[in-house]
């Protein structure tokens, strides 16, 4: 049976609601690391902003571990792959440091609390280790998900991704690369966008997450909203439908994404 989405007014309201849920889950866990699965890009930024605001107000986020979904890769001298330069503006590791962790750290230090410090990313030389590491830690406590605008990719999982896909290296399709031109404005031509990435698999998300929240905001997510809210099981043609097979799933959309045009 398809999931019923919760519709909120705008992206900021969603960010506040998700940040409060994360804080509730951290408190309920009563210690130990809290693994938060994180996408880079625009969709979850209101959540990250709201978390920094709560850290500024004195919330204890010291147990937070930021687990990144994916990153871009480039060929290395050995004919294999390596992550893009961590200082590149489009590096997902740079995004995790500068746009997720550092604002929370600064806010926590100003409030006199102990800030979080851990970021986990997949090693393209050993993708399977990422799943093993997550599993050994007890899994992702809450995974934030976003869907590609036009092809339904989730993380870097492309249309046609098999249901049992674990963390892996993937060739990025043109639609995914075009979507990411909107995320990183310095990509002014398609040939500037890396062609490969390392990503958690759809099975990583479904099997190793205790809870997932799919966020859909903006008019450009209307097609994604339509596909995802109609799905009762995983559709490999639209990988973001994996939310339908996750434990404790929630779909949060703003009014712009949820508006159906005729």
The CATH number linked to 178 is 3.40.50.1360
- Indicate whether 235 belongs to any domain: yes
Q: So what's the pLDDT on residue 150? A: 87
How does residue 262 score in pLDDT terms, banded at 50, 70 and 90?
A: very low
Q: So what's the pLDDT on residue 260? A: 64
- Indicate whether 1 belongs to any domain: no
Beta bridge partners of 178: none
User: What average pLDDT does the segment 122-145 reach?
Assistant: 97
User: What average pLDDT does the segment 176-200 reach?
Assistant: 87
User: What average pLDDT does the segment 2-20 reach?
Assistant: 97
- Indicate whether 35 belongs to any domain: yes
Q: So what's the pLDDT on residue 176? A: 85
* pLDDT over threshold 60, residue 217: yes
Reading across the β-sheet that carries 6-8, which strands appear in turn?
6-8, 249-254, 212-216, 142-145, 34-38, 64-68, 118-120
- Indicate whether 81 belongs to any domain: yes
User: What average pLDDT does the segment 252-259 reach?
Assistant: 96
Q: Which of 64, 142, 156, 145 is CA-nearest to residue 102?
A: 64
Query: What span, in angstroms and rounded, lies between the C-alpha atoms of 106 and 98?
Result: 11
For residue range 69-108, list pLDDT tens digits in order.
Answer: 999 999 987 878 999 999 998 899 999 999 999 999 999 9
% of the chain beyond a pLDDT of 90:
84
**Domain tally, the chain:** 1
Range of the domain at 254: 6-258
């Amino acid at each position: 049976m398809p999931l019923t989405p919760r519709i909120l007014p705008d992206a900021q309201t969603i960010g506040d609601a998700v940040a409060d849920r994360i804080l509730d889950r951290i408190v309920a866990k009563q210690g130990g690391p809290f693994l938060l699965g994180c996408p880079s890009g625009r969709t979850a930024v209101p959540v990250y902003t709201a978390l920094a605001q709560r850290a500024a107000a004195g919330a204890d986020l010291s147990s937070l571990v930021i687990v990144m979904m994916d990153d871009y890769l480039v060929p290395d001298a050995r004919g294999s792959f390596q992550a893009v330069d961590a200082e590149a503006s489009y590096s997902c590791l740079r995004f995790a440091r500068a746009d997720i962790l550092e604002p929370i750290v600064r806010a926590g230090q100003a409030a006199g609390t102990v800030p979080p410090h851990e970021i986990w990313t997949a090693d393209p030389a050993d993708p399977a280790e990422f799943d093993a590491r997550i599993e050994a830690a007890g899994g992702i406590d809450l995974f934030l998900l976003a869907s590609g605008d036009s092809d339904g990719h989730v993380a870097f999982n492309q249309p046609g991704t098999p249901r049992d896909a674990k963390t892996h290296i993937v060739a990025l399709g043109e639609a995914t690369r075009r979507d990411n031109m909107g995320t990183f404005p310095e990509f002014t031509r398609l040939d500037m966008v890396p062609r490969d990435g390392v990503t958690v698999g759809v099975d990583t998300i479904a099997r190793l997450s205790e809870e997932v929240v799919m966020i859909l905001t903006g008019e450009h997510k209307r097609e994604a909203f339509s596909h995802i809210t109609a799905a009762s099981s995983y559709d490999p043609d639209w990988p973001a439908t994996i939310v339908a097979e996750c434990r404790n799933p929630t779909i949060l959309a703003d009014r712009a994404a949820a508006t159906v045009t005729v």
